[in-house]
Amino acid sequence: MKLVVIGGDAAGMSAASQARKRRGPDDLEIVAFERGHFTSYSACGIPYWIGGAVTGRDALVARTPAEFAEAGIAVRLRHEVVAIDLDRREVTARDLDGGGERREGFDELVYAAGAVPVTPDWARVDAGGVFGVQTLDDGEAIHAWLDGEPRPRRAVVIGGGYVGVEMAEAMVRRGVEVTLLERSPQPMSTVDPDMGERVHRAIRGLGIEVRTNTLVQGLETAGGRVTAVVTPDGTLPADIVVLGLGVRPNTALATESGIPVGVTGGLRTDLQMRVVGPAGRIDGLWAAGDCVQTVHRISGQPVHVPLGTHANKQGRVAGINLGGGYATFPGVIGTAVTKVCELEVARTGLTAKEATASGFEFVTASVESTSRAGYYPGAGTMVVKLVAERRTGVLLGAQIVGREEAAKRIDSLAIAVWNRMTVEEMTALDLGYAPPFAPVWDPVLIAARKATDEVHASR
Amino acid sequence: MKLVVIGGDAAGMSAASQARKRRGPDDLEIVAFERGHFTSYSACGIPYWIGGAVTGRDALVARTPAEFAEAGIAVRLRHEVVAIDLDRREVTARDLDGGGERREGFDELVYAAGAVPVTPDWARVDAGGVFGVQTLDDGEAIHAWLDGEPRPRRAVVIGGGYVGVEMAEAMVRRGVEVTLLERSPQPMSTVDPDMGERVHRAIRGLGIEVRTNTLVQGLETAGGRVTAVVTPDGTLPADIVVLGLGVRPNTALATESGIPVGVTGGLRTDLQMRVVGPAGRIDGLWAAGDCVQTVHRISGQPVHVPLGTHANKQGRVAGINLGGGYATFPGVIGTAVTKVCELEVARTGLTAKEATASGFEFVTASVESTSRAGYYPGAGTMVVKLVAERRTGVLLGAQIVGREEAAKRIDSLAIAVWNRMTVEEMTALDLGYAPPFAPVWDPVLIAARKATDEVHASR
């Protein structure tokens, strides 16, 4: 029996490892194709590597091809799978360095090709200095460009989401002047405007120029290098342009091979991460990671949430099932955290905007409190916002913006959302209390109290 | 209508405040009696005040008598209620400074007399230098003693629980030589021995001499001052002795007045914090805080857990109901956190020892991981231990010992315990992930994975 894995990052290699754990090399041969130079790396760590907080690319690699080889998993680096033949059960892989092609038969196939940066037509210029932030190879290229001659002095980051903001901060730390362009009225639109406003201020506080409501019209180049970004409000000189416009599932190969995708553009799977087409499961075909569509457990809607933590979980689930075990991936609730300078930003479940779009009637409650007892040194302020269903009081979502020790409190709220707790029941939660860790009423509890009042008032 | 409150700290004054919020002074007169000098203070903050992290006693006072007066709540400081006449519906209060007694009628009575330090007969000596750590007055007395002449050089702390360990560290910070005596094989016996061993090492690392398996036999005094602690292994010189032997509900007044207590020694209440006797609710009588007994939601057993966070919640619930609203206190799950130097210690639900005592069959799983991505600066190690019911996999309890950013992860586990999640479902939880906040598999998830394996192996 042979397992072929397309994509050598978190999802694919988690699947390979879990399958190997349960089935030895005599029982199952495993071959993974990866078009880049690296396996199992943390793409989320790239901004910190660029910014200098993380030293050295290798720190971001969790497991090398040599380590996989030792575990009996063959990895073919710089090999891009260019065709899947489901009937003949073989893939065709192109050697990106050597130039040849090879065919590889399979009994089981894991499709874990990840995502690709959204790249509008205007960004497809034949010039250096324009980068996505998706792979470790991208990170290497950005590093080389920033260290190269002529030394870039001015950067424009296009898109104010997580990656855009993290990259903007990273380049400021490298001494580059940064302008951040965002098409909506505010960066970090993954949180509600009242919360995003605080993040907006923090970004400006880093010395980053933020231009909102700004649509990019084009790039200018000269001598094979990007030189400027064109917007309706003027042309911004730029020695480096970073695209932070999000990513889309890398499913071109799948659709070319007759494997259908869902409404979000990602592959559809069942709970065990088997690929599902219009006629049901596709035999022997699995998918995991940034190329798949999943379900939002609160809105019930299909969503595409490219995030390392989901990729790892989905890969693990596919691998356990491939190996003869049983595991399921039941969907996501939209938890995300990030850091902008000293400001921590976190969300879970649905924002007010998303709750409206999902058809919920709801109330919101925001409170300001501190991470530790007010009198204990180092107590930082934070704002906690809850979204709860009107009348039932079921917690639909939460957002936190605050200083140190704020963001990870989102986990408590995520587990409350996951379990469909009411904000009223949450007021009784037995959370950890001691002056170095929380006020006697934890910010989460204060928020639950206020939301309970709002729910009662809404009845 | 008149409400009388016995005890001016967290529980009593929360009840008073919530009742006042719902019923104006014309509708409800409120009088609170407090035998000490302060209202609504954080007793949990006393060790940090002694150690110098918190400067000034007033920082620990959340709300002064003057502030209560402004809100229409009369507080009689230094007044100890010495009798309750339920038939005549009046209390007798002694003026501890003036010396007189006054009677006060009531329609509703909140009993919130708190707890008193466990004080064995050998500790009742007629000498200075022996302290409990229960009230702000205790804190003042300890401060005065440590600053007085002759200046204390050697301290003995008796009891290695939260307060004992916190006070031992505080006195080390004051430059006093500290010996900690613990009767069990290890201090911090609120966590399992494998976890407590790490705490034990951290305490010794502070330069504190720890003597375990040590029962105190008596104290020696001279010239009205404590001079030594006598143990079977020898006599320890001591210029100050701190009792950290725990507390018991302060219910002497209640029992003298014919109000019965539960098996833990605390007052029994219903969900709304109305006092319950053998014949059911006692009309117009409420109780909250360190003097009440509550239920452990996982073991189902009655427990006495004196902790500010419960006192505040119970007081709030009593006050809302007193004010004509509706709220309930559904019990506790034993969550607690503390800090020993840089080591954070947390627990929730049942330890292995408690699970055994409760009659559960269970498995345990311990994992070591980091608070942030391993490559991100400042990642500290932590150990997470889970206790899960055999076969069902329901999470019964969790413990964490680790460096910074470890302890508050107990909140996630507390909410999982509260909701009776299985460790298998927990492996899918959508927790916050970004390199500054967690590895791609949060320690909580890694522990859930390992516990799931243990549960499967136990079937």
**pLDDT tens across A89-130, in order?**
999 999 999 999 999 999 999 999 999 999 999 999 999 999
Crossing angle (nearest 10°) for helices A162-173 and A193-205? 20
**Residue A341: its pLDDT value, please?**
85
Residues B170/B48, Cβ–Cβ less than 8 Å: yes
**CB < 8 Å to B444, chain A:** 411
Tokens of B20: 């006042």
> Mind listing the pLDDT tens digit for each residue in B220-245?
999 999 999 999 999 999 999 999 99
**pLDDT averaged over chain B?**
96
Task: Check CB contact under 8 Å for A337 and B437.
Answer: yes
Residue B328 CA: distances (Å) to CA of A145, A455, B319: 62, 16, 11
Alpha-carbon distance A230 to B180, whole Å? 70
Of A12, A35, A249, nearest in space to A108 by CA? A12
- Min Cα–Cα distance to chain A from B213, Å: 27
pLDDT of A56 strictly over 90: no
Chosen for mutation from B339, B405, B408 (greatest number of chain A CBs closer than 10 Å) is B408
CATH architecture entry for A336-457: 3-Layer(bba) Sandwich (3.50)
Which one of B290, B294, B375 makes the best mutation probe of the A interface by having the most chain A beta carbons within 10 Å? Answer: B375
Structure tokens at B171: 């006195």
Tell me the pairing of strands A29-34 and A74-77: parallel
Q: Looking at domain A119-243, which CATH architecture does it have?
A: 3-Layer(bba) Sandwich (3.50)
Asked whether this chain's domains A2-45+57-115+248-322 and A119-243 adopt the same fold, the reply is yes
Extract the runs of DSSP E, i.e. beta strands, from A240-390. 240-243, 247-249, 274-277, 280-287, 294-295, 302-303, 336-340, 343-349, 362-370, 381-389
Tokens of A146: 């920033």
Is the CB of A54 less than 8 angstroms away from the CB of B436?
no
Q: Are A14 and A30 in contact (CB under 8 A)?
A: no
Residues of B in contact with A415 (CB under 8 A): 412, 415-416, 419, 421, 429, 431
| Contact assignment for A415 to B412 by CB distance below 8 Å | yes
Q: Which DSSP helix (H) or strand (E) runs through B155? A: strand B154-158
Residue type, A91: V
pLDDT at residue B67 in the model: 97
Q: How confident is the model at residue A325 (pLDDT cuts 50, 70, 90)?
A: very high
Asked if residue A413 lies in contact with residue A328, where contact means CB atoms within 8 angstroms, the answer is no
Residue whose structure tokens are 């000189």: A237
∠ Cα B435 A155 A193 (to 5°): 60
- List the 49-108 stretch of B: residues with Cβ below 8 A of A: 53-54, 59-60
Distance of residue A31 Cα from the nearest chain B Cα, in angstroms? 24
Q: How confident is the model at residue B307, as a pLDDT?
A: 96
One CATH from 3.50.50.60, 3.30.750.24, 3.60.10.10, 1.10.10.410 for B2-115+247-322: 3.50.50.60
Chain B touched by A25 (CB under 8 Å): no
pLDDT (average), residues B108-135:
95
Q: Which of A21, A44, A198, A246 is catalytic?
A: A44
pLDDT tens for residues B164-215? 999 999 999 999 999 999 999 999 999 999 999 999 999 999 999 999 999 9
Residue A404 has pLDDT above 90, yes or no: no
Chain A residues touching B408 at Cβ < 8 A = 405, 408-409, 432, 437-438
User: Does residue B56 register a pLDDT over 90?
Assistant: no
Token pair for A19: 């399958």
Level-2 CATH architecture, domain B336-454 = 3-Layer(bba) Sandwich (3.50)
Distance from CA of A136 to the nearest CA of B (A): 15
| Cβ of residue A315 closer than 8 Å to a chain B Cβ | no
**How many pairs of residues across A and B have Cβ atoms under 8 Å apart?**
199
* Mutant choice from B440, B449, B455 vs A, greatest count of A C-beta within 10 A: B440
CB distance A428–B329 less than 8 Å? Answer: yes
Yes or no, beta carbons of B436 and A307 under 8 Å apart = no
Sign of the dihedral through C-alpha A33, A38, A41, A45: negative
- Report the alpha-carbon angle A427-A430-A431, nearest 5: 100
How much of chain A exceeds pLDDT 70, in percent? Answer: 100
- Residue A16: which H helix or E strand, with range? helix A10-22
Whether B440 and A416 lie within 8 Å, measured CB to CB: no
Are the C-beta atoms of residues A320 and A295 closer than 8 Å to each other?
no
pLDDT at B295: 98
CB B34 within 8 A of CB B316: no
Check if the beta carbon of residue B334 is closer than 8 Å to that of residue B277: no
CA atoms of B387 and B357, how far apart (whole Å): 13
The rounded distance, in Å, linking the Cα atoms of B116 and A182 is 60
User: How far apart are the C-alpha atoms of A187 and A196, rounded to whole Å?
Assistant: 7
Which amino acid makes up residue B78?
R
B44 catalytic residue (yes or no): yes
Contact yes or no for B328 and A428 at CB 8 A: yes
Residue among B312, B335, B428 whose CB faces A430 most closely: B335
- With beta carbons less than 8 A apart as the criterion, state whether A340 and A203 touch: yes
pLDDT digits (tens, 9 = 90+) for A220-239: 999 999 999 999 999 999 99
Q: How far does Cα A225 stand from its chain's mean position?
A: 29
Which residue among B54, B430, B434 places its CB closest to the CB of A414?
A: B430
Please tell me the distance in Å from A176's CA to the nearest CA on chain B: 22
Q: Which residues pair with B247 in a beta bridge?
A: B117
Distance from CA of B183 to the nearest CA of A (A): 25
The one-letter code for the residue type at B266 is: G
User: Measuring CA to CA, how many Å separate A239 from each of A76, A88, A219?
Assistant: 35, 49, 11
- What are the residue ranges spanned by the domains of chain B? 2-115+247-322, 119-243, 336-454
Tell me the angle at which helices B10-22 and B308-322 cross, rounded to the nearest 10 degrees.
Answer: 30
What fold is seen in the domain A2-45+57-115+248-322? FAD/NAD(P)-binding domain (3.50.50)
A418·B429 Cβ contact <8 A: yes
> Are B428 and A346 in contact (CB < 8 Å)?
no
Q: What is the sign, positive or negative, of the torsion defined by CA atoms of B391, B397, B401, B407?
A: positive
Residue among B372, B400, B406, B380 nearest A337 (CA): B372
A318-347 residues touching B, CB cutoff 8 A: 327-330, 332-339, 344, 346
* Interface contact A14, partner B, CB < 8 A: no
Chain A: residue whose CA lies nearest to B43? A435
**Alpha carbon distances (Å) from B229 to A379, B179, B232, B454:** 38, 10, 10, 46
Of A60, A328, A338, the CB nearest to B375: A60
Contact A309 B419 (CB under 8 A): no
- pLDDT tens per residue, range B321-369: 999 999 999 999 999 999 998 899 999 999 999 999 999 999 999 999 9
Contact B375 A54 (CB under 8 A): yes
| Edge-first strand listing for the sheet containing B381-389 | B336-340, B343-349, B395-402, B381-389, B362-370
pLDDT in tens, B264-307: 999 999 999 999 998 899 999 999 999 999 999 999 999 999 99
Q: Point out the catalytic residue in the list B22, B29, B37, B44.
A: B44
Burial of A58 (0-12, 13-18, 19+ CB in 10 A): exposed
Spatial distance between the Cα atoms of A342 and A199, rounded to a whole number of angstroms: 10
What are the structure tokens assigned to B249, written together? 């509900």
What does the pLDDT look like over B71-85, one tens digit per residue? 999 999 999 999 999
In angstroms, what is the C-alpha Rg of chain A?
Answer: 23
How many CB atoms lie under 10 A from the CB of residue B403? Answer: 16
Q: What is the mean pLDDT of chain A?
A: 96
* CA distance to partner chain A, nearest, from residue B260 (Å): 26
Q: How far is B86 from chain A (nearest CA, A)?
A: 30
Q: Three-state DSSP class for A409? A: helix
Nearest residue of A to residue B46 by CA position?
A435
Q: List the beta bridge partners of residue B362.
A: B389
Can you give the pLDDT at residue A278?
87
Determine what percent of chain B falls in helix, strand and coil, rounding each to the nearest 5.
30, 30, 40
Interface touch B432/A411, C-beta < 8 Å: yes
Q: Does A377 touch chain B (CB under 8 A)?
A: yes
Share of chain B above pLDDT 90, in %: 98
